[in-house]
Structure 1
Amino acid sequence: MNRRHFILTGALAGSAGSWLHAQAQPAAGRKPVILVVGDSLSAEYGLKRGEGWVPLLEKRLAEQKIAATVINASISGDTTAGGRARLAGLLAQHKPTHMVLELGANDALRGLPLTSTEDNLTQMTKAAQAAGAQVLIVGIQVPPNYGRDYTRRFEAVFTKVAGNTKAALVPFLLKGVADGPDAAGLFQADRIHPTAAAQPRMLDNVWPALRKLLAGM
């Protein structure tokens, strides 16, 4: 990822209520296991261990007395193809009840075909659902220099996948970070990756949709 792409952000999509009940339901009474499959936005890139939004999620679950296990399987630089290639092993190893899917930014940076990104996200979502996990998809936004048409079509990929698979969708992982008045101060020197100060806002964007899924168990 280079400097001109600091606006490129992960955005998790948040679902409408009807979608929440359409996904495969985990076994009643089972302790939630949340698998996060993402890229550098979820992998604590440039942060001290424990500062990222995923570790903060663990703390929030504990504070709200929700006995859940969080597995962060995010890898900086990962693409949807990379995530798809390793997902079967992750599902077999961790047997998640929920999966947060935050991939796609690096597909755009590498100029990969939108059809491939859509197919990879679709197959990952279906595989997780077939394994009994409810899925929360991360959408991606690209900067205007990609062109209006590409920007629109790329963003639509995540909405389409969520709609076709009835997965949950959160609008924007970096809402209040990349588009806020203090955006410049919320990014690291590379102007791509959010600082530690931005991580609580990112969690606040993910939490409502994820909490709904957890409440449905």
Structure 2
Amino acid sequence: MVVKKMLIILVMAFFTAPPPAKVILFYGDSLTAGNGLSVDDAFPALIQRKLTADGKAVKVINAGLSGETSAGGLARLDWVLRQPVDILVLELGANDGLRGLPLDQTEKNLQAIIDKMKAKNPAVKIIVAGMMVPPNMGPDYTTKFQKIFPDLAKKNKAALIPFLLQDVAGNEKLNNPDGIHPNVEGHKIVAKNVLKILEPLL
């Protein structure tokens, strides 16, 4: 009788246990890392707090690295993938554009990152963060650069954030003195931009 009761308790615990937290990997450069800010003020941390407050079981990992290029991101991916990932938010390529690196190489690197993620977990959901570069790079380069991200999203059936810095870029009140990296208030808006695309995937 005692054994039967214990079995019933175990079965009930199994079916009533909360679902395991979904792991959301933010993989990017200084924008993800929160350059010039505490990591707690960067948009991935803001997203963690918002989703947790909404009762979502998630674990956010901020794998942003200042100065990171798409090639650098590809090179360190194996180390990052030592843990399972359910959703990848891919925010890389901006430094490639600012350095005027070959666009075909940037796209190739980003695709390789996506391929590695899918090989590790075929069920992974992917969000591609769209980026832009300043017009001083020339109209041909800037147009082709901007096109990389929607093309990648379409090719890989991934979700797309049209422009990560929408309503933030170019606004000095929302950026650090360097005019490139969002400040605390800017990161709040970036978090909203990301959540619009991320929340439906949860």
**TM-score, structure 1 length as denominator?**
0.80
- Aligned-pair distance for 1:34? 0.5
1:138-179 deviations in Å (ceiling 9; x for gaps): 121011111111111011111111111111111111111125
Once the two structures are overlaid, the 10-residue window that deviates more, 76-85 or 104-113, is 104-113
Match of 2:15? none
Q: Return the alpha-carbon distance in structure 2 between the equivalents of residues 62 and 74 of structure 1.
A: 21
Decide which structure has the larger Cα Rg and report it: 2
Cα distance, 1:94 vs structure 2: 1.6
1:140 lines up with 2:131 in the alignment? yes
Residues of 2 paired with 1:49 and 1:155: CA distance? 27
Count of aligned pairs between the two proteins: 182
Q: 1:30: Cα distance to partner?
A: 4.7
SS for the counterpart of 1:137 is strand
Displacement of 1:124 after TM fit? 0.8
Q: CA deviation at 1:192?
A: 1.2
How far the C-alpha of 1:76 sits from its partner, in A, is 0.3
Q: Which runs of 5+ in 1 are unaligned?
A: 1-28
Note if contact 2:20-2:57 (Cα within 8 Å) is conserved in structure 1: no
* More divergent stretch after superposition (124-133 vs 45-54): 124-133
SS at match of 2:25: strand
1:69 to 40, 59, 62: 59
1:102 equivalent in alignment to 2:91:
yes
User: What percentage of aligned pairs have identical amino acids?
Assistant: 43
Which residue does 2:16 correspond to in 1? none
Alignment of 1:14-93 (within 5 A): 30-91=20-81, 93=82
**TM-score normalised by structure 2 residue count:** 0.86
The match for 1:190 is 178
Match of 1:118 among 107, 112, 115: 107
Cα deviations across residues 58-105 of structure 1 (Å, max 9, x unaligned)? 1011111101111111100000001111112212x2210111100001
CA contact (8 A) 1:81 1:120 kept: yes
- Answering whether residue 190 of structure 2 is matched by residue 202 of structure 1, we say yes
The alignment yields a C-alpha RMSD, in angstroms, of 1.3
Instruction: Pick 1 or 2: higher relative contact order, CA cutoff 8 A, min separation 6.
Output: 1
- Comparing both structures, which one devotes a greater share of its residues to helix? 2
SS in 2 for 1:140: coil
For residue 211 of structure 1, report the CA deviation from its aligned partner: 0.9
Helix, strand or coil: the match of 1:100?
strand
